[in-house]
Amino acid sequence: MKLSNILSNGLKGNLDSLLQSIDYDRLFVLTDTNTLKLCMPLLDIPEGVYTKICIPAGEENKTLESLSHVWQCLSHGGASRNSLLINLGGGMVTDLGGFAAATFKRGIRFVNIPTTLLAAVDAAVGGKTGIDFFGLKNEIGAFAPAEAVIIETGFFKTLDRKNFLSGYAEILKHSLIHSVEDWKKLLAFDLEDIHYNRLSDLLIDSVRIKEKIVAEDPVEKGIRKALNLGHTIGHAMESMALESGHPVLHGYAVAWGIVCELYLSMIKTGFDKNKLVQNVRFVKERYGIFSFDCKQYDRLYELMQHDKKNASSKQINFTLLKDIGRVEINQTATREEIFESLDFYREYFC
Ligand code: NAD
């Protein structure tokens, strides 16, 4: 996807001109049960011009069954290789819909219209699509870029605060890997009284950071790993929370993971302590506490060893920072250093 295909100034105008510019025979719109109610009315495409497909909301439905339902609807609706699918929803819908499109008749085109902040800044851009399988997240999938991504902050007005903050953590991550200026703007943004036009500007800058990195390294052989900051320890926390029956939102786990990985950055690549402390304060105030004790360190470590990003289970791969905007990919840390970062987290948070 070219950078110019991220559209952000007016949903109706963007969508009309996009649909006019694409030569397709049939149009399908995929939603989940929530975005059907809350977001579809904003889309304003005349009935009869498209076929609706709806899947149940929630990560537990990012399954083969939902995927099969989408394929069936495409098939029954007469979709051909020349049809177009619009994915209107959060990351669950854009991931699953993107994968359905990538595989139906060996690939039809799709457009993502993300309706959560997390999807706008992360899931809908970058071409990773897929479903969960046998309890493993994103186990089956494909790299398949959207024809275009239309970002409309108006959708986020119905998001609950937790889902809003979850997406904001990925924006924070993008600023950390990009520049001090972006990072300062993010820390200063008023999350209590959201100004949606300003959010739109932050968001577009953030998406461009991801898109630029993805354009350089679409299949994560090198610099795309920069986007993994906070995710090695964050994913382990997310999985441990899921195992304990108290799941946490992805962005929350990333925010907590960023704290630990910036600590590792401080001891291994010289990240500045004051900036670490500012991040810790920001995360603690917005995202609260993920409680665990030292008896759970071994389990967290095991989960990190199973991370898809490792070249081998003996070496856990991290993306660290020398400074804000100065990324060091392919870093490793010893078990002791990782445990030290968990100690640091607990000292500040618990
Ligand atoms: P989600 O799509 O499940 O949305 C969260 C909840 O918000 C759902 O209940 C949904 O129905 C609801 N919702 C969506 N839009 C809404 C709106 N405007 N107002 C009110 N409610 C709304 O989850 P998510 O947090 O958007 O995304 C998480 C998914 O994204 C995961 O499956 C994750 O694996 C995936 N992801 C993919 C990538 C990628 O690169 N492909 C990156 C990050 C995350």
123 in Cβ contact with 91 (< 8 Å): yes
pLDDT > 50? residue 3: no
Q: What is the DSSP string of 120-181?
A: IIIITSSSEEEEEETTEEEEEEEE---SEEE--GGGGGGS-HHHHHHHHHHHHHHHHHH-HH
Q: What is the pLDDT of residue 102?
A: 98
Is the distance from the beta carbon of residue 234 to the nearest atom of ligand 1 less than 6 Å? Answer: no
Give me the phi and psi of 157, to 5 degrees please: -65, -25
What tens digit of pLDDT does each residue of 94-110 get? 999 999 999 999 999 99
347 Cα–ligand 1 center, Å? 31
DSSP label at 116?
S
Is the distance from the beta carbon of residue 128 to the nearest atom of ligand 1 less than 6 Å? Answer: yes
pLDDT > 60? residue 2: no
Report pTM: 0.93
335 Cα–ligand 1 center, Å? 33
167 Cα–ligand 1 center, Å? 9
Burial class (CB in 10 A: 0-12, 13-18, 19+), 350: exposed
Q: Whose CA is nearest to atom 17 of ligand 1?
A: 159
What tens digit of pLDDT does each residue of 69-82 get? 999 999 999 999 99
Q: What is the pLDDT of residue 1?
A: 47
Q: How far apart are CA 159 and CA 166, in angstroms?
A: 11
Q: How far apart are the first and last CA of the chain?
A: 43
Nearest Cα to Cα of residue 224 among 177, 172, 263: 177
pLDDT > 70? residue 4: no
Q: How far apart are CA 121 and CA 221, in angstroms?
A: 21
Q: Whose CA is nearest to atom 36 of ligand 1?
A: 123
| Percent of the chain whose pLDDT exceeds 70 | 98
135 Cα–ligand 1 center, Å? 18
Is the distance from the beta carbon of residue 121 to the nearest atom of ligand 1 less than 6 Å? Answer: no
Nearest Cα to Cα of residue 261 among 280, 284, 281, 288: 280
User: Which among 99, 115, 158, 209 is the best mutation to test ligand 1's pocket, defined by most ligand atoms within 8 Å of the CB?
Assistant: 115
User: Which among 33, 93, 95, 113 is the best mutation to test ligand 1's pocket, defined by most ligand atoms within 8 Å of the CB?
Assistant: 95
Is the distance from the beta carbon of residue 62 to the nearest atom of ligand 1 less than 6 Å? Answer: yes
Q: What is the pLDDT of residue 137?
A: 81
Q: Whose CA is nearest to atom 38 of ligand 1?
A: 123
Q: How far apart are CA 2 and CA 333, in angstroms?
A: 36
58 Cα–ligand 1 center, Å? 8
Q: What is the pLDDT of residue 268?
A: 98
- Overall average pLDDT of the 242-250 stretch: 91
Residue bearing the bigger pLDDT, 22 or 137: 22
271 Cα–ligand 1 center, Å? 32
253 Cα–ligand 1 center, Å? 15
Single-letter amino acid code for the residue at 177: I
User: Which among 33, 34, 94, 173 is the best mutation to test ligand 1's pocket, defined by most ligand atoms within 8 Å of the CB?
Assistant: 34
Q: Whose CA is nearest to atom 32 of ligand 1?
A: 92
Q: Is 1 helix (H, G, I), strand (E, B) or coil?
A: coil
Mean pLDDT for the chain overall:
93
63 Cα–ligand 1 center, Å? 14
The residue with tokens 């090695």 is 232
